[in-house]
Amino acid sequence: MTFLEDRDLADVPNIPEYYKGKTIFITGGSGFMGKVLIEKLLYSCTDLDRIYLLLRSKKNVTPEERLLAIYKSNVCFDRLRKEKPGVFESKVFFIAGDISETGLGISDEDRTLIVNRTHIIYHAAASVRFDDSLKTATRLNLIGTKEVMELATEVRNLECLIHVSTAYSNTNRDPIEEVMYPPHVDWRDMLQVCEQFDDHTLQVLTPKYIGELPNTYVFTKQLAEHVVYEYKGKLPVVIIRPSIVISSYKDPFPGWIDNFNGPTGILVGCGKGILRTLYSSPDMIMDYVPVDFTIRSCIVASWIRGTKVVEPTDDIPIYNSCAGKLKNITLQELVDIGKEIVEAVPLDNMIWTYHVTVTKSLFMFNVYAMILHTIPAIFVDFLLTIFGKKPMLLKIQRRVYVSNLALQYFLIQQWTFSNKNLINLRSKIKQEDHDDFYYEIENIDKYEFFKQSCATGRKYLLKEKDENLPKARIHHQRVQFLDKLLKCVFYGLLFWWIINTNFIKNLFTS
């Protein structure tokens, strides 16, 4: 990647200036990262010409209605609505289509529009489900990428294409460097297999094809990278590999998140007293990266790639957008931080106290799950039924158990991610762009970051109000008292049983 290391960037325009007048085409714009990308581009590069979002109809909601909902009903765009009103409505347009369809499901008229007007493409659409069938994952992650790349070859003024992959696309290796590893299988052969065999046969063949890889998501994302890599020296392509993307550090505002994935879900589950055991190692280092860290790196990568003409000798730059050695946090640290947060800002209607047992033993995990999750859930649901309310806790615990097992591959294995290219990339950012685009994770205060994340999740995901906090604290104190009382009763009865057994009596009378 000599074009990054050796270029003199003195005459290259800064990032907002580069984006001035540019037209951008985005897939995956309705997702977590996609929303932050759109907001950041409109807020910090307001002079861009326009953004086209690929949107499909969903649950009888048209693409036009979805575009309106994305903007008006999401707090992600609060800053934009307040400080730059009208920018979204005047610059963001939908393109009706579907990533899983031939030609992306785009009409000839819209395809011509994209071909003639687009300068930058962000391909972030993907299925992130670990339990997708091989055919479904191939259609969404592999064929979708193939269709995007074929569209890119037609775009007349393409300056950059950012392909968002995952840092876990090569989990059969350690360390994971910022290089292109050999493919697990040939992606063209995979397409033929999915076309030739029915779903049942593919289900039987799936373990054979994915081999060492944990699921169809990782498998198809790895193959998708090789679809992109075939355009080396032909198209201005960049591959970004985020690790576990979590709530924001700064953009659009501290702590923003729209899902319970990652540590937010763990902390909320523990904070409610629902999640009390995890199958993992307490020393496991979880590679979390704030969503705006990754989005800023994507924008910087598009700027530095887009300001250089493609040459046949150009390689495709790959960036592991991850914490790496910059900032580490173990699972036990996260659990301990969560306990401090719950003490300061308890959640409403806690079922039980915050206490989490992390174990590396699958047997002990199942024992703890039975004692700490299943039996209490049955008891609570029994009480709910008696009082005429709908039982729900056992159903929730079943989902928690299934999710924990689905993630066990990632919770019991440790990888070392290299991010030298990513660090080098940020060193190229001009001084005048630092406030808006420089990304760092080294100086983040872990406690304050996760406290803000939980506060945001509490407010926007759980819909809990700040004025309820005094009531939540009182309830938390009552639950803590009840927990201590029951422990005293339990250990008291256990002690009484021990001293009254025949063995103890015989021991003292002999």
138-177 pLDDT, tens digit each = 999 999 999 999 999 999 999 999 999 999 999 999 899 9
pLDDT of 242 over the 60 cut: yes
Confidence of residue 71 (pLDDT cuts 50, 70, 90): confident
- Does the CA dihedral 152-153-157-161 come out positive or negative? positive
pLDDT for 502: 62
- On average, the pLDDT of the chain sits at 89
pLDDT for 6: 62
- By the 10 Å C-beta count (0-12 exposed, 13-18 middle, 19+ buried), 282 is classed as middle
pLDDT for 291: 95
pLDDT of 503 over the 70 cut: no
pLDDT for 400: 83
Average pLDDT value for residue range 100-104: 91
Q: Where do we find the tokens 């191939």?
A: 138
Per DSSP (E only), the strands in 346-445 are 357-359
pLDDT of 507 over the 80 cut: no
Assess contact for 111 and 153: CB atoms under 8 A.
Answer: no
Average pLDDT value for residue range 43-58: 93
Residues 470-483 have pLDDT tens digits of 888 888 888 888 88
First vs last C-alpha separation in the chain = 83
Confidence of residue 506 (pLDDT cuts 50, 70, 90): low
- Domain extents for the chain? 2-255+286-327+415-443
pLDDT for 486: 83
pLDDT for 468: 85
pLDDT for 128: 84
Residues in contact with 8: Cβ distance below 8 Å, sequence separation at least 6, in sequence order: none
Residues comprising the chain, all counted: 510
Average pLDDT value for residue range 411-439: 92
Average pLDDT value for residue range 326-339: 90
**Beta-bridge partners for 290:** 246
**CATH of region 2-255+286-327+415-443:** 3.40.50.720
Assess contact for 63 and 23: CB atoms under 8 A.
Answer: no
Q: Where do we find the tokens 């198209």?
A: 235
Q: Greater confidence, 405 or 328?
A: 328
Average pLDDT value for residue range 255-273: 84
Average pLDDT value for residue range 278-294: 92
Confidence of residue 32 (pLDDT cuts 50, 70, 90): very high
Residues 359-387 have pLDDT tens digits of 999 899 999 999 889 988 898 888 889 98
pLDDT for 508: 55
Q: Greater confidence, 466 or 99?
A: 99
pTM reported for the whole predicted model: 0.91
pLDDT for 33: 94
Q: Greater confidence, 103 or 496?
A: 103
pLDDT of 338 over the 80 cut: yes
pLDDT of 7 over the 80 cut: no
Confidence of residue 1 (pLDDT cuts 50, 70, 90): very low
Residues in contact with 363: Cβ distance below 8 Å, sequence separation at least 6, in sequence order: none
Q: Where are the alpha helices (DSSP H) in 95-215?
A: 108-117, 134-137, 144-154, 187-196, 199-210
How many Å apart are CA 393 and CA 186, to the nearest integer? Answer: 45
Confidence of residue 186 (pLDDT cuts 50, 70, 90): very high
- Does the CA dihedral 62-64-70-72 come out positive or negative? negative
Confidence of residue 2 (pLDDT cuts 50, 70, 90): very low
pLDDT for 85: 92
Assess contact for 41 and 68: CB atoms under 8 A.
Answer: no
415 sits in the region (left: phi over 0; alpha: psi -120 to 50; else beta) called beta
Average pLDDT value for residue range 29-42: 94
pLDDT for 120: 97
Q: Greater confidence, 464 or 303?
A: 303
Nearest partner of 129 among 139, 117, 120, 116, judged by Cα: 139
